[in-house]
Structures are given as structure tokens and as C-alpha cells.
Amino acid sequence: MIGDRHVHTELSLDCPAKIADVLDCAVSGGMKEIFITDHCDMDLGPDWLQPVERYTETLEEYKRRYAGKIDVHIGIEIGLNPEYNGQINSYLASWPFELVVGSVHTMLGKDPYYREEYDLEDHEFYASYFKTVLERLRSDNSIDVLGHLDYVVRYGREKGASYFPEKFSGEIEEILKILIRRDIALELNTGGLRKGIDFVHPHEFILGMYKDMGGKRLSLGSDAHFAEHVGAGFDEALKLMGRFGYTEKNIL
């Protein structure tokens, strides 16, 4: 089974999964490698900042412990926000992370998870998110992957029923241009399948745009916050890739 490239553990504030349980599930699922990408979101407050020394030392120990069973790669999911560019770039330069997933977890000064705090209709909520992603992606951060591009749909009042990605094609096209120009992979994130969304992030309309624009690099991640979700939804994601002519060779 292809390795999961977006996985959280107990080192993330919002995740109860023990590292050993995550790795055991990956091994039992037939994975040869896994990328641990715990949260580091400076704009969510100090509790969301991974102390790099403790984080990497802990995962290095699990690399050694699981050697011969599975290759454990030390990654990070960094929250993109140009207000914190200096700190973000210093943080990423402080250790040779094997995979940096750049994601947007805040907009208009809040976390979309708390949908009730936004006095917006769903289409406005989604539009604001795409504009925020574009703005933040334009800033100069050394990321390998753009995480869960339309993740905001998970928190819409009507979720996918009120989501029509073609309405945001202008912003989406600009986002994809940046990815292709900077050789950043577009993530296929299966987390939404467990959040009341009936599609893999991003929506196939966006994946089709990416293909038509010449996009080649993909990443595949479950966004697991529980050990049993490692690799969840990968069969569906791989079928989606196949429909657009992508193969596992396109996964970075």
C-alpha cells in the first residue's frame, strides 16, 4: 500500500493517537513508509507551535524503533500566514524536514472549524477561504505540498451541497499556477470523506483544472487524527487519480 503523507499523532494538540498505534496500523496495512506531519500553526497560538527539538527527537526515536518494519519520515504541517513568515521560515530552516505540508487553517482571524463565528453564507465562506489561500500561497514559504485545498467545505452549513468550485475558478486557477510554477505538489486529502464530504479534497473539478494546466505532482494523505484512519480512503483517491490519467509515479 502506498505510504500515507499526511498523518497526525499525539504530538498535535488536536490528536489523541499514540505514535506507536499510528505506526502499527500503517505496518498492518502494508505500508512501507509513512510521513508524520503534525501541526505547527503559529497563528493559532503558542500551544500549536511544535518545539522542534522535542518533536524531531521523539520521532527520530520511533524511526529507530521501527527500522526494518516501516520507514518513518519526519514532516510537518505548517499553517501558512504571511504575518508569521519570518518565524515560519526560521522554523523550517531549523531542521531538515522530509516533507512540509503548507495548509491554511485560519481566515479572517478565526478558525473555519468554528463555523458559527462567521456571519457568512456558505458561498461567501468558501469564497473567503480561496482568497485567503491564494494570498498566503503568494508569500515565500518553502513548502513541498499544498494541503487540503478546499478543506473549508468540511465546515460549511450545508457542506458539499452548497459547494460549486467552478464559481471560484479564478482564484483556483491562480493557486494552481503558483503550485506548478514553484513545483509544489497538490495534495489529495481523504480526510473530508470522514467529515461528511462525499469527495476527496480537492474536488475533482479542481483536479481536472490542475491536469489541464499541466500539473504533474501530487501527494496523498489521509489527514488521520486516529490510528485506524491511516490510509483511509486511499482506494477512492487512487481511482480518482486514474480517471485523470495520474499514476502512483505522480506522487512525490
Sheet of strand 4-7: strand arrangement: 4-7, 33-40, 71-79, 99-103, 145-146, 185-189, 218-221
> Per-residue confidence of the chain (252 residues) as pLDDT tens digits?
899 999 999 999 999 999 999 999 999 999 999 999 999 999 998 889 999 999 999 999 999 999 999 999 999 999 999 999 999 999 999 999 999 999 999 999 999 999 999 999 999 999 999 999 999 999 867 899 999 999 999 999 999 999 999 999 999 999 999 999 999 999 999 999 999 999 999 999 999 999 999 999 999 999 999 999 999 999 999 999 999 999 999 998
**Domain boundaries along the sequence of the chain:** 4-250
Q: In whole angstroms, how far apart are CA 84 and each of 69, 101, 139, 140, 201?
A: 38, 16, 10, 11, 26
What does the DSSP assignment read for 168-211?
A: GHHHHHHHHHHHHHHTPEEEEEGGGGGTT-SSPBSPHHHHHHHH
**Residue position matching grid coordinates 481566515:** 107
Helix axes 204-212, 169-182, angle to 10 degrees: 50
**Residue position matching grid coordinates 485567503:** 132
pLDDT at position 62: 98
pLDDT at position 169: 97
CA 188 – CA 150 distance, rounded (Å): 10
SS3 breakdown of the chain: % helix, strand, coil, rounded to 5? 45, 15, 35
**Do 147 and 79 touch, CB atoms closer than 8 A?**
no
Q: Is the pTM of this model over 0.85?
A: yes
**Do 112 and 157 touch, CB atoms closer than 8 A?**
no
CA 126 – CA 123 distance, rounded (Å): 5
**Residue 16 one-letter amino acid:** P
pLDDT at position 139: 83
User: Does the N-terminal peptide bond of residue 202 adopt cis geometry, omega within 30 degrees of 0?
Assistant: yes
Query: In the CATH hierarchy, which top-level class contains the domain 4-250?
Result: alpha beta
- Chain-centroid distance, C-alpha 187: 6
pLDDT at position 191: 96
